[in-house]
Structure 1
Amino acid sequence: MSTRAIGDYALLSDCRSAALVSRDGSLDWLCLPRFDSPAIFARLLDDDAGYWTISPACPAEVTRRYVRDTLALETTFRTRDGTMVLVDALALGVRERGHDLGASSAGLVLRQVTCVEGSVPVEMAYAPRPEFGLVHPLMQPVHGGLIARGGATVLTLSSPVELRVSGSVADLTVTLRAGQCLGLALQAGWAWDPDPPCRTSREVRHRVKDTVRGWRSWSRLHANYEGPWRHLVEHSGRVLKAMTYAPTGAIVAAVTTSLPETIGGERNWDYRYTWVRDASFTLQALSTAACEIEETAFFGFLARASATQLDRDANLQIMYGVGGERDLSERRLPHLRGWRGSSPVRVGNDAWRQAQLDVYGELLDAAHQTYCDTGPFDPFTRAMLVGAAEAAARCWREPDKGLWEVRGPSRHFTHSKLMCWVGLDRAIALAPLLEASGRIGDWTRIREEIRAAILSEAWNERIGAFTQTFGGTALDAALLVMPLVGFLAPDDPRVRSTVHAIATCLTDARGLVHRYHAADGLPGQEGTFLLCTFWLAHALALIGERPAARRVFETAASYANDVGLLAEEVDSATGEPIGNFPQALSHIGLINAARAIGDTI
C-alpha cells in the first residue's frame, strides 16, 4: 500500500504523457504513450506496481526545484561526503514553426545524475510493471543497457553502467566523484530498438539541455502577464501546457487516477480526460497566461469532439478522451490496493454517461471567448454550436446530475440552469457568426424565462443566498460563478449576500472552501476544494472586497507544494493535499483569480 504524501511528487511532461517523481528520486507514476495509457510505473497506487529510483546510498538532505522557466526537475542530495544533483525530464524539443513544444522522442524519460562536490555512492533500482502492475516483464541485459519485455510494451533502458538483474528488478551501485555524470534514458515501444536514443551519458546530457531550451523558449513566448503573483501565474501556465495533449489540443483534468477525495474512501475517479465543464474557465486562464496557440487548439479539440447531432434523444457529452474518444467506460483494478488503502482503483469514468445541462453554457461561452471578435466558424462548428444552443433552450427545465457529477438522483441544480442561461446569452451574441439571426427572438425569450426561474426559485430569502437546487436550502460554491459569468452585476445585493453566505458556511477553519455539505449519493466526507477557494477570491474581488480577496487567494496558493503544484483538495483535518494531482482546475482558478484581483487595482 502506498503511503507517500501526494504533495511529495513533482510533475514531468512531454505534452503527451506524464510522470510523477518523489522527493527522494523515485519515479512512481508513468503512463506512455498518452496521459490515459496504462501505467508502466504505478507505485503511487500500490507498492508492488512499479518504480524507478535513483538516490544516494547514504543519508542525505534533499532540496528540489524546477530549472528556471521549465518543468525539468532538479533534485539536490547533500550527504556527509558530497553533493549530487539529479535532473529528471521527459524529452522535449522546439518546433520551429509555431514556436511550440514538441516531443523530440515519443515517451523518452531522461535521468541525469551529477556529483558536484566530494563523492557520493549512488543506488538505482528499476522495476517496471506495465499495465498497472499486472505485468512482471522478462529482462535481458544488452550492450549499453537493458531490455524489458512483457505484455504490449517493450522497454529499452539505456545505461553506461552494467546493471544487475534479479527477476523483474534491475539495480546498480556506483560511486560518483566531483565532476562525474551518469545519464540514463528509458523509452517504451512495440519492439526492441537496436539503436536506442541516448546510449551515453553525453547524449542524455544533450537531450536534457534540449528539453530545458524547449521549455524556456515556450515560456519566453508566454510571459506577457503583468499582474500580481506573476510567478505563480506563469508557472501555472506551464502546468496547463504540461497537461495538454499536443496532437489534439485536449487538456486533461489531472494526470492521475484514483487519488481519493476522502482518504480510505471510495471517491476515487480517473481524471485523465477532458471535461467540457472546464472549457470556459480554461480558456480564460490560457488567455491570461498568454497561451493563444493553446487556446485555439483547445477550442478546436472541443469543437471536433463535440460534433454530433443534438436532438431529443441525444445530449452533449460532458467529457472525452484526449483523442476525442467518447466511450470512457469505467472499470476497477482489484489487484491494486490504492493510495493509503483508498479503493477501488478505477480506470475510465462512467460520468461520461451522465446528462449535465451546464455543458451547453460552457461550450458556448468558450466559443464566445475564442471567436466573438474574429470568426467565422466552419460549417461543422457552426452546426454544433447552434445545436448546443437549441439543446439548452429545450432541456433547461429538466433535472440533471450537475457539474459535481452526483451519483444519486437527478435534481434541478441552480448552476445547471445558470449555465443554460449563459449558453443562450452567448449564442445570441454569436448569432450573426452562427448564421442564426432568425433564432435570436426565441433564444432571448427562453433566456429571460431561465433568468426569471432562477431569481424566483433558487433565491432563499431566509438564508439570504441562492441555493444549490431550486426550492432548496443547501449552499453550493458553484454559485460563486454568478457574477463571473455576468448573470447578475457584482454589486447586486443578492450576489454579495450569496458570496458572504458561502464564505461563512462553506469555509473551514483553514480558510478553504467546501463544494457543498449536502448529500450527493456517495458515503463519506471530502476535503475542501482549491478551485472553489479561488472562486471565492475571484468573487470577492468582483464585489469590491479586495483585501479579503487577497487573503483568500494567498491562503489557497499556500497549499501548493514545494515545486508549485496544486492538488484538487486539501484534507480539512491535516491540511494535506488530496485528490488527483496536479489538478488543472486548481491552477486555472489561481490564474483567473489573480487576474481578477489585479483588475481591481
Structure 2
Amino acid sequence: MWLHGVMASRIEDYALLSDLHTGALIGCDGSLDWLCFPRFDSPSVFTALLGTERNGRWLMAPADPGARILSRSYRGSTFVLETVWETGSGTVKVVEFMPVGERCSTLVRRIVGVTGSVDMAQEIIIRPGYGKVLPWVRRVKDAAGTHAIVAVAGPDAIVLRGDQLPQAIDHKHGGTFTVEAGDTVDQELSWYASHRPIPAPLDIDTELAATVAYWEDWASQCSRDGKYAPMVERSLLVLRALTHDDTGGIVAAPTTSLPEDFGGARNWDYRYCWLRDAALTLEAMLTHGYENEALKWRNWLLRAVAGDPEDLQIVYGLSGERELTEGVLEHLRGYEGSLPVRIGNGAVGQYQADVVGEVMVALEKLRLAGGKEDHFSWPLQLAMLKFVERHLTQKDHGIWEMRGDVQYFTHSRVMMWAAFDCGVRAVRNHKLKGRAAHWEKIRDRLRTEILAHGFNKERNTFKQTYGGTATDASLLVIPQVGFVTYDSPEMMGTVAAMEAELVDSHGLILRYQSASGLDGLSPGEHPFLACSFWLVEQYAHTGRREEAVALMDKLTGLANDLGLLSEEYSMEDARMVGNYPQAFSHLALVRAADALHGTEALSLSAEAAGAEAADAERAEASSTLPQPHESMGT
C-alpha cells in the first residue's frame, strides 16, 4: 500500500539513480527523498531522507492509497528505473533516470499508461541548502515558449518542466493528473547556476536511448563468470555510478548520516573520496577489465596528492579538495531520529597508517595489468614510501577511523609492510628506479616487529593492536596482501578467534567489539558487510567452500530487489543500516565472488588432474596385466 507520510522509507526501499556526477534516492513510495545538485558532495535540494517532507522531496505515485507495485527493476544493465504500479482502475509504468552526458544535473520521470486509467499524485517541495532554504519560486515561459516552474536560492536554480506541472499550494507544489492507456507524461527537473539562463529542455526520447546505451555498453565490457556474475556486474555498475566522471574521484557513498545504529550518534558523511576505498575499487575494476577507469582514478590520485607528501590525507573532495571540515546540521531531525546529522568528515585530519599500503598495492596491480608509469606516477609512489618511512614509529587511528586514542594497529603495520613490499617488487620486477635494498630491510624489520607485537603466540592469533588482546575483522586482509598465506597456522588461529569473538549468531562478523571503548564512541553497531565478504574469501581459500558459499548466499540475499547494499545490516530487524549504497560493500562482494570462482576453477582443475592421473594409473596397471593373446599362449 502507498501512503502519504512524513517518515523516510527503510534504507533498502530506495533505488539509486546516477548521472556520474551525483546520485538520487527514490523510495518504493515514489518519493525522491535525497538529491544533491550538481555533485555528490553539493548541498542537497531534497533532504526528506534526513528530516521530513518539509525538508524537500518530489513525490510521484498513484493517488489511489490501495495502489501496489507489481514490479520494480533497472532496465537491463543500467540505472534506468522502471516501476509498474497497479490500481483498481488501471496500471502505469514509471520510468526514471538521470541522463548521462556532457550536460548533467537533470532527472527525468516518465509516466506511461499501460491499462485503464490511473490518477497520479505529484508533490514537489524544493529546499536547497540541505532542506533549510525556502527558494523564490515562480512560473515562467522559457525561450521555447514552454511553461516551467523555476526555484532560485543563492547560487542554485531548479527548473521543472513537464506535461503536467503541479500547482502552488502553501510553499509547495502539488496536484493530480490522469494517465490513460497509451499516454506518456514526461516531467524533467534540472539544476543550473542561478546567474545563467534557464537551460533548454531535453529531447527525452533521445536522452533515454543514449543513457541506456551508455550503461549497457559499459557493462558489456565487464568480464564476469560463475554463479554470482549478475551480482558482480551490478556491484561494478554501482562502483561506476559512484564515480565522478569529470574528475575520476570515487565517493564512498552518495549519502550522509544514515546511521550505523538507529537512534545513535554513529552518523558520518561518506560523500567524499577515501584513498583506501578508491584503491580497492580500482582493484575490483582492474580484475574485470576496466583499465581505463583505473588509469583515470590514478590521474585523480596524482592531482589530489600532489604537493608535499607530508600533507597526505586519507580522504579528499571529488576534485581533490582538502578542506572537509566536519559540521552539524541542527535543523534536521536525522534518519529515524539519529543525531547528529553531519556534513564534512573529521577523519580528514586523522593519520591512518594503512592507506599508502592500499594505494601501493592497487598501483602494483595496475602495473601488472599493463598500466605504464609516467613521469609523475612513480615519483609520487617514491614520495609516499618516504612518507611511510618518516612515520614508521607513529601510532595511528586505524582503518576504522577510531576517534579514541591512537594505537599501533596490526592491520596498519601490515599495510606499511605491504607498501615497502610493493616498492621492492617495482624495482626488482619492473625495473623502476628505487632503493629496493633499503626498503627490503625496512619491510623485514616490520615483519619481525608485527610477529613479535601483533601476534599472540599463546592464543595463536593476530591482535587488533599491539597493546591489546582482542581481534579485529581487518586482520582478514593480512593474507590478501601476502604477509602470510590464507591457510597459514597464524591465520587459521586468527579466524578461529574471530569466530569466537566477532561472528554473531547469524554468521556475520562485526568489525571489532565496540564495547571496548577503543573507538571513543558509545557501543553499538551492526555487522559490517565488507568484513563478512572478507570472511567468505578466507573460507574459500582454506578448503571451507561449503561454508563460504553458504555465507555468500546469505550476504547476497541481503541485497535489495535492485542488487544494492548498504554499509551494515541488522539481522534482528531484517533491514539495512548505514550509508547507502556503499562502495566498500560492493567492492568486497566482487572480491568474494572472484575468490569463490577462482577456487572453484582450481578445484575443478584439481579434480580433472586427479581424474587424469587416475586414468593414467589405471592404464599403466592394465598394461602390466597379461593380455588375452598371452594368456592363451599364442
TM-score interval (norm. to shorter): over 0.9
CA contact (8 A) 2:295 2:371 kept: no
CA distance in structure 2 between the aligned counterparts of 1:401 and 1:361, rounded to whole angstroms? 15
Q: Deviations over 1:536-587 (max 9, x none)?
A: 0011112222111111111111111111100000124313101000000000
CA distance in structure 1 between the aligned counterparts of 2:7 and 2:264, rounded to whole angstroms? 15
Aligned to 2:201, which of 183, 197, 202? Answer: 197
Moved more, 124-133 or 567-576: 567-576
Q: Aligned-pair distance for 1:220?
A: 1.7
Q: Deviations over 1:434-473 (max 9, x none)?
A: 9864511111011011111111111113333101001421
CA distance in structure 1 between the aligned counterparts of 2:434 and 2:221, rounded to whole angstroms? 42
CA distance in structure 1 between the aligned counterparts of 2:330 and 2:7, rounded to whole angstroms? 15
CA contact (8 A) 1:10 1:21 kept: yes
CA contact (8 A) 2:256 2:269 kept: yes
Distance 1:178 1:376, change over 3 A: closer
Q: Which residue of 2 aligns with 1:218?
A: 218
SS of 2:593 mapped into structure 1: helix
CA contact (8 A) 1:393 1:424 kept: no
Residue type matched to 2:465 in 1? T
Distance 1:271 1:194, change over 3 A: closer
Matches within 5 A, 1:119-518: 119-143=117-141, 144-191=147-194, 193-194=197-198, 196-198=200-202, 203-222=203-222, 224-310=223-309, 314=310, 316-372=312-368, 374=370, 376-431=372-427, 437=433, 439-517=435-513, 518=516
Residue type matched to 1:181 in 2? T
Q: Aligned-pair distance for 1:595?
A: 0.2
Q: Which residue of 2 aligns with 1:54?
A: 60
CA distance in structure 2 between the aligned counterparts of 1:375 and 1:197, rounded to whole angstroms? 41
CA contact (8 A) 1:139 1:167 kept: no
Root-mean-square deviation over aligned CA pairs:
1.7
Unaligned runs of 5+ in 1: 93-102
CA contact (8 A) 1:512 1:555 kept: no
Distance 1:53 1:3, change over 3 A: closer
Q: Which residue of 1 aligns with 2:29?
A: 24
SS of 1:597 mapped into structure 2: helix
Q: Aligned-pair distance for 1:188?
A: 0.8
Q: Aligned-pair distance for 1:194?
A: 4.7
CA distance in structure 2 between the aligned counterparts of 1:237 and 1:423, rounded to whole angstroms? 26
CA distance in structure 1 between the aligned counterparts of 2:566 and 2:543, rounded to whole angstroms? 28
Distance 1:512 1:204, change over 3 A: same
Distance 1:354 1:130, change over 3 A: same
CA distance in structure 1 between the aligned counterparts of 2:429 and 2:57, rounded to whole angstroms? 52
SS of 1:77 mapped into structure 2: strand
Moved more, 545-554 or 582-591: 545-554
SS of 1:154 mapped into structure 2: strand
Aligned to 2:110, which of 99, 109, 112? Answer: 112
CA distance in structure 2 between the aligned counterparts of 1:159 and 1:193, rounded to whole angstroms? 18
Q: Aligned-pair distance for 1:375?
A: 5.4
CA distance in structure 1 between the aligned counterparts of 2:206 and 2:137, rounded to whole angstroms? 27
Q: Aligned-pair distance for 1:391?
A: 2.3
Residue type matched to 2:21 in 1? R
Q: Aligned-pair distance for 1:292?
A: 2.1
CA distance in structure 2 between the aligned counterparts of 1:206 and 1:158, rounded to whole angstroms? 17
Q: Deviations over 1:254-292 (max 9, x none)?
A: 000011111111111100011112244212211233322
Distance 1:588 1:139, change over 3 A: same
Q: State the TM-score, normalizing by the size of structure 2.
A: 0.89
* Count of residues paired in the alignment: 583
CA distance in structure 1 between the aligned counterparts of 2:459 and 2:450, rounded to whole angstroms? 15
Distance 1:524 1:471, change over 3 A: closer
Matches within 5 A, 1:526-545: 526-545=525-544
Q: Aligned-pair distance for 1:502?
A: 1.6
CA contact (8 A) 2:122 2:166 kept: no
Residue type matched to 1:335 in 2? H
Residue type matched to 2:68 in 1? E
Q: Deviations over 1:49-68 (max 9, x none)?
A: 10001000102111311111
SS of 1:216 mapped into structure 2: helix
Matches within 5 A, 1:501-580: 501-517=497-513, 518-519=516-517, 520-580=519-579
Residue type matched to 2:267 in 1? N
Q: Aligned-pair distance for 1:85?
A: 0.8
SS of 1:422 mapped into structure 2: helix
Moved more, 123-132 or 429-438: 429-438
CA contact (8 A) 1:261 1:527 kept: yes
Residue type matched to 2:90 in 1? G
CA distance in structure 2 between the aligned counterparts of 1:376 and 1:27, rounded to whole angstroms? 43
SS of 1:508 mapped into structure 2: coil
CA distance in structure 2 between the aligned counterparts of 1:443 and 1:162, rounded to whole angstroms? 66
CA contact (8 A) 2:90 2:115 kept: yes
CA distance in structure 2 between the aligned counterparts of 1:483 and 1:280, rounded to whole angstroms? 17
Q: Which residue of 1 aligns with 2:41?
A: 36
CA distance in structure 2 between the aligned counterparts of 1:258 and 1:373, rounded to whole angstroms? 37
CA distance in structure 2 between the aligned counterparts of 1:436 and 1:292, rounded to whole angstroms? 21
CA contact (8 A) 2:31 2:60 kept: yes
CA distance in structure 1 between the aligned counterparts of 2:165 and 2:321, rounded to whole angstroms? 42
Moved more, 273-282 or 475-484: 273-282
Distance 1:338 1:445, change over 3 A: same
Distance 1:373 1:29, change over 3 A: closer
Q: Which residue of 2 aligns with 1:67?
A: 75
Q: Identity percentage over the alignment?
A: 39
Q: Deviations over 1:199-248 (max 9, x none)?
A: xxxx33432232222211222222x2123310000111111110000011
CA distance in structure 1 between the aligned counterparts of 2:165 and 2:268, rounded to whole angstroms? 40
CA distance in structure 2 between the aligned counterparts of 1:197 and 1:528, rounded to whole angstroms? 46
CA contact (8 A) 2:22 2:39 kept: yes
Q: Aligned-pair distance for 1:138?
A: 2.1
Residue type matched to 1:283 in 2? L
Q: Aligned-pair distance for 1:193?
A: 4.0
Q: Which has the higher helix share?
A: 2
Q: Aligned-pair distance for 1:303?
A: 2.3
Moved more, 334-343 or 207-216: 207-216
CA distance in structure 1 between the aligned counterparts of 2:530 and 2:491, rounded to whole angstroms? 19
Q: Aligned-pair distance for 1:140?
A: 1.4
